[in-house]
Structure 1
Amino acid sequence: KLTTTLFSIFTVGIVIALIIPSPAWAANKCEGKSHNATFGMRKPGDKLIHKERIKSVWKLLSFVQKDVTYPAKDKKRKYIITYIKITDRYTDGHGGCASIVKGGVGYDHVKIHTKSQFTRGLDFIIEIYGIKPA
C-alpha cells in the first residue's frame, strides 16, 4: 500500500512538473506566434552571402539546439555583414528562438544559436547579407 501511494505521489509530481513550466523554461520561450528576427539593415551593394535552413525534429522531454556559423571555419572572411534575417517557419507559436552569440552586423563573422521550445522542433531559414570591405 505504501509503494502504491509513493508511486502515485511521484506520478502526480512528474505531471505537474511537465504542465507548469519552470522559470528557466519560461525564460527561453519566445513571444508571439512567429519568432522571426532581423538584425541590421540592407545597404546599397550588399548581397546574399549565406542562406541556410535549420530543421530538426522534436526531442522527448528536451530542447533541440543548433548553431549556425558564418563563414565556415575553413573559409575566408570576405564580407562585412550588413543584415541578418531569421525566419521561423513555425507560425503557430511552437517555433524556437534564435540569437546572435558572436559577431553579427558590422563584423565579418557571426554565430547564431537556435533553440527549440521544450519538446518541440526547429525550422528556421537564416539569410545573411554582406558587402565587401572598401
Structure 2
Amino acid sequence: MPRATPMFLLPLLLLLVGPTWAQDPLDEVFPPRQPRQPHDLILCDMKPGDQLLMRTQVKQKGQFLSYVDMDFMYPPVIGYEFTEVIHCIKVTDKVSDGNGGYATIKSGGLNQNAVTINLRSQLGKGIEFILEVYGQDPTAAPPAATTDSNN
C-alpha cells in the first residue's frame, strides 16, 4: 500500500513541481534589471545635399537631490527664422552606463526650421550630450557642376 504524503510537505512539493506558468509575484513590483544603455535620441530622414548645420557639446554637473533641466534651441537666436530645413537631429548621450540624462523634442523638429530639445538628468546626476542638427537650405542653388576646360 502506498504511503500518503504528509500535508505539511504538499506546499513544498507544489513549489518544486508546480505549473510552469507560475510567476514570482515580485517580478511585477521589481522587474528584472535590464542592461544599462545610453539615452540617445536620433531622428533622421537624411536627404541628398544635407550638411551639418550645428554641432555642440552640453555638459553640466549634477547636484545632490536635484535635476539638471535645460532647453537647447536651434536656431539659437530667438525671433530669427533660418531658411534651412532640419532633416536629422542626433542627441548622443556621452554617459553610456545608463546614468546619463534624457533628451526629448519640446517643439519643432524634422522638416521644420527650428527645434527645441529638452535635456534632463537623472536625480543627483549630471548631463553630457553632443547635439547635432543636419539639413539644407531649400532656397539655395545646387552646387554648380564642374566642367573640364581641357577639351
Class of the TM-score when normalised by the shorter of the 2 chains: 0.7 to 0.9
Give a deviation string over 1:6-31, Cα, whole Å, max 9, x none: xxxxxxxxxxxxxxxxxxxxxxxxx9
Write out the 4+ residue segments of structure 1 that deviate beyond 4 Å after TM superposition.
none
Q: Counting strand residues as a fraction of each chain, which structure ranks higher?
A: 1
Cα distance in structure 2, aligned partners of 1:98 and 1:119:
17
Cα distance in structure 2, aligned partners of 1:118 and 1:33:
17
- Which has the larger Rg? 2
Cα distance in structure 1, aligned partners of 2:97 and 2:44:
26
Equivalent residue, structure 2, for 1:125: 130
The count of corresponding residues between Structure 1 and Structure 2 is: 104
Cα distance in structure 2, aligned partners of 1:121 and 1:39:
23
Q: Tell me which of the two structures has the higher relative contact order, counting C-alpha pairs closer than 8 angstroms and 6 or more residues apart.
A: 1
Q: Determine which of 35, 39, 54 is the counterpart of 1:35.
A: 39
Give a deviation string over 1:82-127, Cα, whole Å, max 9, x none: 0001100001110000000100001000000000000000000000
Equivalent residue, structure 1, for 2:57: 53
Q: Counting helix residues as a fraction of each chain, which structure ranks higher?
A: 1
In the alignment, structure 1 segments of 5+ residues that lack a partner are 1-30
Q: Provide the alpha-carbon RMSD of the alignment.
A: 1.4
Mapping for residues 1-134 of structure 1, pairs under 5 Å: 32-72=36-76, 73=78, 75-134=80-139
Cα distance in structure 1, aligned partners of 2:138 and 2:36:
37
Comparing 68-77 with 53-62, greater Cα deviation is found at: 68-77
Q: Identical aligned pairs, as a percentage?
A: 36
Shift of 1:53: 0.8
Shift of 1:63: 0.4
In the alignment, structure 2 segments of 5+ residues that lack a partner are 1-34, 140-151
After TM superposition, the score normalised by the length of structure 1 is 0.73
Cα distance in structure 1, aligned partners of 2:37 and 2:117:
21
